[in-house]
């Protein structure tokens, strides 16, 4: 299943994609794409629906973040061997965990806001997954059974704030619109093996990132099990798993974005996103 949320920002409604690519409204079935819906029981209920009987939504409707009430946005850094190499960083021996503020989440086609004075804004296409049931001290063997589904996240990063200013990475990662997410949440049964997906990102029509999750240092299952040792993951939590090579920081010399630039990105079976960079309104 491909679950989504549609409508104006702050007033999104739950939805599902039908076999023809049409958006069907789930408002009469579930309250939102939230913890109850993401549970195994909630997903099983949706699998039994006759999608043709649900209201069809206008094809031009805005899509929002596919998950409501996200409590935690956990990130894994330097999780591709070739990305670590391009940024001259050592290959990590354990997952590098950091957080983005959930206020950074935005829809997959919403504009990205360029912070005033920002000169080092970078792009990062990433595979993300969403927790479907409470997850604390789980084994790697059972870890993926706690995942409700997978989606795309663009882990936008202001490199000056992240790397040159004192403190942790969060300040370079958490500006509003720095985590476009979606277009859909694709359930695990439809995705299959998350370690065999292709990722790509174009900037202004030029291919910048090309990668595959086969190059992840730590698999999705390992990340779930590892993170659950240090935090009790909750339904609706999003974990994003790192980016492949081709970021602006890795270019020689580095290349960063400016107002008017457009990113287009996608992952096998998970759809595509597109954002245009706009300066913050006065």
Q: How do residues 36-68 score in pLDDT, each as one tens digit?
A: 999 999 999 999 999 999 999 999 999 999 999
Cβ neighbours around 219 below 10 Å, total: 19
Question: What contacts 68, CB < 8 A, 6 or more positions away?
Answer: 5, 12, 14, 32, 33, 34, 236
77 in a structural domain: yes
pLDDT in tens, 220-247: 999 999 999 999 999 999 999 999 999 9
Q: Quick one: average pLDDT of 254-264?
A: 98
3-state helix, strand, coil in the chain (%, to 5): 20, 30, 50
pLDDT level of residue 282 (50, 70, 90 thresholds) = low
Q: What is the mean pLDDT of the chain?
A: 96
pLDDT above 90 (res 84): no
| pLDDT value of position 73 | 98
Report if residue 99 sits inside a domain. yes
| 199 pLDDT above the threshold of 80 | yes
Strands 262-267, 238-240: parallel, antiparallel or unpaired by DSSP?
unpaired
- What's the total number of domains in the chain? 1
Compute the distance between CA of residue 127 and CA of residue 215 in angstroms, rounded to an integer.
Answer: 12
For residue 121, tell me if it sits in a domain: yes
How many alpha carbons lie under 13 Å from residue 154 in its C-beta half-sphere?
38
Query: What's the average model confidence in pLDDT over 18-24?
Result: 97
On whether residue 209 sits in a domain, the answer given is: yes
* Cα–Cα dist 251/153, whole Å: 22
Residue span of the structural domain in which 94 resides: 68-279
Rg, the chain, Cα only: 18
The whole-number pLDDT of residue 90 equals 85
Note whether residue 97 is domain-resident.
Answer: yes
Q: Judge if pTM exceeds 0.85.
A: yes
Residue 35 lies in a domain: no
Domain of 126, CATH number, reads 3.90.850.10
Distance CA 247, CA 124 (A): 6
Q: Is residue 132 part of a domain?
A: yes
What is the average per-residue pLDDT within 93-119? Answer: 97
pLDDT tens per residue, range 1-10? 999 999 999 9
Residue 190 forms part of a structural domain: yes
């Amino acid at each position: 299943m491909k679950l989504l949320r549609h409508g104006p920002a702050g007033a999104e409604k739950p939805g599902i994609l039908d076999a023809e690519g049409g958006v069907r409204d789930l408002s009469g079935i579930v309250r939102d794409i939230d913890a109850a819906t993401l549970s195994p029981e909630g997903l099983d209920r949706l699998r039994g629906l006759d999608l043709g009987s649900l209201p069809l939504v206008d094809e031009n409707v805005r899509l929002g973040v596919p998950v409501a009430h996200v409590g935690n946005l956990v990130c894994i850094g330097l999780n591709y061997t070739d990305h670590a190499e391009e940024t001259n960083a050592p290959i990590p021996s354990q997952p590098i965990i950091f957080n983005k503020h959930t206020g950074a989440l935005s829809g997959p086609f919403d504009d990205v806001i360029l912070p005033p004075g920002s000169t080092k804004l970078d792009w990062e296409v990433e595979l993300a997954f969403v927790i479907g049931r409470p997850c604390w001290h789980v084994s790697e063997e059972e870890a993926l059974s706690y995942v409700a589904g997978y989606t795309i996240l663009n882990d936008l990063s202001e490199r000056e704030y992240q790397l040159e200013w004192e403190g942790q990475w969060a300040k370079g990662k958490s500006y509003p619109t720095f985590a476009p997410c979606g277009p859909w949440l694709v359930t695990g049964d439809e995705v299959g093996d998350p370690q065999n997906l292709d990722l790509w990102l174009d900037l202004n029509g030029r291919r910048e990132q090309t990668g595959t999750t086969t190059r992840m240092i730590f698999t999705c299952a390992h990340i779930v099990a590892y993170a659950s040792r240090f935090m009790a993951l909750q339904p609706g939590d999003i974990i994003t798993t790192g980016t492949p090579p081709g970021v602006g920081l890795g270019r020689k010399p580095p290349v960063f974005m400016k107002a008017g630039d457009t990113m287009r990105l996608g992952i096998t079976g998970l759809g595509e996103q597109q954002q245009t960079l706009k300066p913050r309104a006065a």
